């Protein structure tokens, strides 16, 4: 009888251990969850809804970030982008798992209607050597800028940057396929900044931003340096435009994410110029102009 009882006890213990082992294996197997995020469509026009949903197993909380400061805590829904551009949508599940997807938002076709006029937005005065932001508005798809200094077409970008080498009064001409005659804007370029002008302050701001952008490239804590620039200089607006090498543009958030993920450890930030806008009392940076290059570019020559 004693042997039979002992065998029964051993059998029960073995069965319990087997159940525990199976439970542990199941827990380990299912603990490595995958974020099942759905965005459709991923290319839309302004005003067209993007449907978002998540089917991650056993998910309890969601944080959708739409790349422009807007967020949602719903498991599914739809979102409408109000401005054209490329937006990096990020989903964070249960405060730990995350996945990202790019959504391209195009300008609506009817935004190019014939009832709109092509206009120039630019300052009336500037300083010799200052980088000036020119902006074109209206229905055109082609832009030809003459800044009045070279006598030729200086840029074909919609929103170019330009610096006058000589002081004087210049007439800026913007020609498009929608205008019979060029749109005109007069700008007075003053001599080099006086010693008591605010140039030095802008240079200090640009250098400070450059150092923190380089820190992001070099792999230092992203949130520390990103939030420093965002709160101190951009008034918390992650959609400030960043123009890179006077060519390509991103919103500030997407640009910094690119430095962290794509350009990490191989890019050098050369200079950062800041645009405070036309309002002299403005305390927020309205635009960043960055020059940068790849560290290995010289070795490839």
Per-residue model confidence as pLDDT tens digits over 177-212? 888 899 999 999 888 644 444 446 778 889 999 999
The neighbouring-strand residues paired with 76 are 53
CATH assignment of 113-190? 2.60.40.10
Compute the distance between CA of residue 130 and CA of residue 33 in angstroms, rounded to an integer.
53
Compute the distance between CA of residue 276 and CA of residue 267 in angstroms, rounded to an integer.
26
148-164: average pLDDT: 91
The overall average pLDDT reported for the chain is 83
The CATH 3.10.450 domain(s) of the chain lie at 199-294
Compute the distance between CA of residue 301 and CA of residue 299 in angstroms, rounded to an integer.
6
CATH assignment of 199-294? 3.10.450
Long-range contacts of 280-284 (CB under 8 A, 24+ apart): 283/235, 284/233, 284/234, 284/235, 284/237
Angle at 264 between CA 260 and CA 267, to 5 degrees: 120
Q: Which CATH number fits domain 37-108: 3.40.50.150, 3.40.190.10, 2.60.40.10, 1.10.3720.10?
A: 2.60.40.10
**Do 138 and 118 contact (CB within 8 A), yes or no?**
yes
Per-residue model confidence as pLDDT tens digits over 50-87? 999 998 888 899 999 998 889 999 999 999 998 888 88
The CATH 2.60.40.10 domain(s) of the chain lie at 37-108, 113-190
- The whole-number pLDDT of residue 114 equals 41
Specify the range with the lowest mean pLDDT, choosing from 6-15, 118-127, 202-211.
6-15
Closest CA to 233 of 210, 215, 216, 249: 210
């Amino acid at each position: 009888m004693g042997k039979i009882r002992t065998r029964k006890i051993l059998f029960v213990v073995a069965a319990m251990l087997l159940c525990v082992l199976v439970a542990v294996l199941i827990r380990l197997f299912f603990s490595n969850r995958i974020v099942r995020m759905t965005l459709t469509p991923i290319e839309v026009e302004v005003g067209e809804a993007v449907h978002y949903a998540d089917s991650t197993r056993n998910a309890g909380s969601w944080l959708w970030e739409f790349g422009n400061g807007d967020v949602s805590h719903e498991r599914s829904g739809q979102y409408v982008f109000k401005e054209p551009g490329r937006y990096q949508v990020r989903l964070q599940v249960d405060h730990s798992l995350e996945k990202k997807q790019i959504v391209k938002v195009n300008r609506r076709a009817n935004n190019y209607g014939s009832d709109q006029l092509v206009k120039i937005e630019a300052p009336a005065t500037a300083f010799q050597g200052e980088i000036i932001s020119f902006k074109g508005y209206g229905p055109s798809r082609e832009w030809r800028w003459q800044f009045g200094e070279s006598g030729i077409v200086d840029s074909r970008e919609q929103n170019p940057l330009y610096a006058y080498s000589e002081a004087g009064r210049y007439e800026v001409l913007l020609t498009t396929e929608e205008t019979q005659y060029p749109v005109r804007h007069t700008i007075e370029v003053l001599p080099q900044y006086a010693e008591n002008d605010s140039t030095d302050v802008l240079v200090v701001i640009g250098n400070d931003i450059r150092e923190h952008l380089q820190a992001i490239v070099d792999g230092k804590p992203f949130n520390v340096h990103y939030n420093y620039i965002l709160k101190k200089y951009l008034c918390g607006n992650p959609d400030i435009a960043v123009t890179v090498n006077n060519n390509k543009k991103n919103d500030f958030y997407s640009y910094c994410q690119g430095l962290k993920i794509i350009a990490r450890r191989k890019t050098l930030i050369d200079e950062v110029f800041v645009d405070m806008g036309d309002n002299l009392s403005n305390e927020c940076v309205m635009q960043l102009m960055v020059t940068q290059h790849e560290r290995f570019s010289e070795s490839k020559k």
